[in-house]
Structure 1
């Protein structure tokens, strides 16, 4: 049996400006906002289906309307699945999606404007993100929504009308007591309009020891390829940030060739660009302790 859920979401822009009080807003803002909301809910349900192995189909319809001194419309969310309604600890997937969207928006509102990259780390309890020095825990769906670039871009689009003089608030009302209204004000706009990247760290650790130089670069922004002395089958592509080493390189005090040996210290982290994507490993050498040219390394290592 197919179960169908009909959820209404009220989108309400308000303010003291003459245009908004006359139920007017730039057409480009309205179209981008409508498309943004459509993207947010569609992508959020896609993430939920991947995480909970559910098969919820989503259809979003628009219903416009006016009231004095504002511009608003309804989004009609129709979700359906052919089997029994999925639930997570007695909370439906649909309710979890709405709560997670709200949670992600509230986190973005709280982030300092200097935070242009969202760093998320896996923990034993789930996922953590740093908000002004405080570690905040996320569950899997909240993490998936926050790291979805389409959703973050869409959140920026729905907040953009608040950059217009006279448009002061955006209210998102899901009409559910357990999911309070999302109130976005002009003071929040910069935090939400800002296009941030993200880094999802799955695992991290240290790198140290002796490595042969396979390929090198005198450009400090380029990466080096190194091969482990103890395990020649293990090669790493690294960024070198050691300032003293880079200065010696730029001043031509260091000359390199293939098979030179470096003693290094650094860090590595395993990263996912999306929660459901593949992980890649990034290496950074923070200190070059020694450089042994190829012609010297035999006697120097004895």
Structure 2
């Protein structure tokens, strides 16, 4: 079987790599089509072919508005090229431009989509758009039973939905925690509840907060409130920096809003043997409860 995996915006290189490698080990011929990763080195292909044919020019532009403007021209060309590929299955991980993709996604071959964010934050309120998009796919993959329930209620045909739990990302960092460090890992976005994490830490006299990730929101107010109780390691964390943060943490926290199905940052923490405290949203509570890997609040 020839499978083409596509992550046009290169949102999740580690996940893409693990899935492509696993399919190759199972005997499939696998191509991963994506964009250049802007924040560091991606994993080396293992048994699959890698092609970075999305956003070849805009990926190297630092100015955000200019980059997004050029992408609007690059995207339709790259998506049409993707859809013309010969494959038994085309599996999309993310839709980088839903407003364009709803018109572009036409294919005679089976189409699969993984709904990592059940309804993406930027366009999630456009229900008609997403109902049309979901109808373009023969199968829609979610990572939790709650994800299945949410998309069924949204109107996705139950027979099109498949639950495939997201595995942990295994690692074995040397333990170097002090028994009081709370880790808030991952890209810092509004829905991730960093103010809640800070409030909880400040309520515990001996606790300290380690924030490790690339900020997408202003942090001046939180930094002022946290003072010396918070350490900020801002920016994209490579493998070594992430391992260091995981090794120094006592517990990881994920006070997320209900906008996603599963969290890669959570599964990296659990894969490193770190207990987690999560809000009961999306599939976060399912995995923590099922494996007794922390607390659901």
Same fold (TM over 0.5): no
Higher Rg of the two aligned structures: 1
Greater strand share, 1 or 2?
Answer: 1
The TM-score range, normalised by the shorter chain, is under 0.3
Identify the structure with the greater helix proportion: 2
Q: TM (normalized to structure 2)? A: 0.23
